[in-house]
């Protein structure tokens, strides 16, 4: 995992994403749409546990100088999750029809308005997901619920992110555009 510049000319962009836990694979399945077709990314617990704190820390830096920053974070997270609307999941067709990729590395980039998450495999293929702050908070809520469904610990997650959105982790995940 690193924070490097991304060459977007060779990187495909994810336009929609569905996040689910696959109990047979014991991994997070990210079903995505790109301009070239559907893709399935497999995210291991080890890599997810390393990437999520970096994303959460970036959000925390946004209010670090404000009064009661943890309360502000909790309120912002609750507001973001309450604005999620259920959508149809990304359909990848038959398992062998979608390109599959085991995520080996994640590069993170941050700007004024949001984050860029670049998922890479060992073969050098990469897919980038751009999220504004609201979308990032919503996706992190989905990932947190996925961790809970998988019965993975939330030790790396700050308290403000654990208390928001006490939803049933079996709810169909929302999709971010």
What tens-digit pLDDT sequence spans the chain (177 residues)? 444 444 444 679 999 999 999 999 999 999 999 988 899 999 999 999 999 999 999 999 887 777 887 888 888 889 999 999 888 888 877 655 578 999 999 999 999 889 999 999 999 899 999 999 999 999 999 999 999 999 999 998 988 887 655 544 434 444 554
Measured over the CA atoms of residue 150, residue 148, residue 98 and residue 13, the dihedral's sign is negative
31 phi and psi angles, rounded to 5 deg: -95, 120
Mean pLDDT of the chain: 84
pLDDT of amino acid 5: 47
pTM value is 0.82
DSSP code for 59: H
Residue range 3-44, pLDDT digits in tens: 444 444 467 999 999 999 999 999 999 999 998 889 999 999
> What is the Cα–Cα distance from 50 to 106, expressed in whole angstroms?
9
**Helix ranges, 38-132 (H):** 45-61, 69-82
> What is the Cα–Cα distance from 78 to 74, expressed in whole angstroms?
6
- Side by side, the strands of the sheet bearing 126-132 are 12-13, 126-132, 114-120, 105-110
pLDDT of amino acid 21: 96
Torsion of CA 127, 3, 44, 139, to 10 degrees: -70
């Amino acid at each position: 995992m690193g924070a490097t510049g991304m060459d977007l000319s060779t990187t495909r962009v994810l336009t929609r994403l569905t996040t689910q836990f696959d109990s047979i694979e014991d991994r997070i399945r990210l079903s995505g749409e790109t301009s070239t077709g559907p893709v399935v990314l497999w995210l291991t617990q080890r890599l997810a546990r390393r990437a999520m704190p970096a994303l959460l820390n970036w959000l925390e830096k946004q209010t670090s100088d404000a009064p009661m920053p943890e309360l502000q974070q909790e309120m912002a997270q609750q507001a973001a999750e309450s604005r999620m609307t259920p959508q149809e999941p990304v359909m990848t067709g038959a398992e062998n029809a979608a390109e599959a990729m085991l995520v080996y590395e994640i590069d993170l980039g941050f700007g004024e308005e949001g984050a860029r998450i670049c998922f890479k495999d060992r073969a050098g293929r990469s897919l980038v997901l751009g999220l504004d702050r609201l979308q990032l908070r919503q996706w992190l809520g989905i990932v947190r619920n996925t961790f809970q469904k998988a019965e993975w610990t939330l030790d790396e997650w700050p308290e403000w992110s654990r208390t928001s959105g006490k939803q049933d982790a079996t709810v169909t995940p929302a999709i971010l555009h």
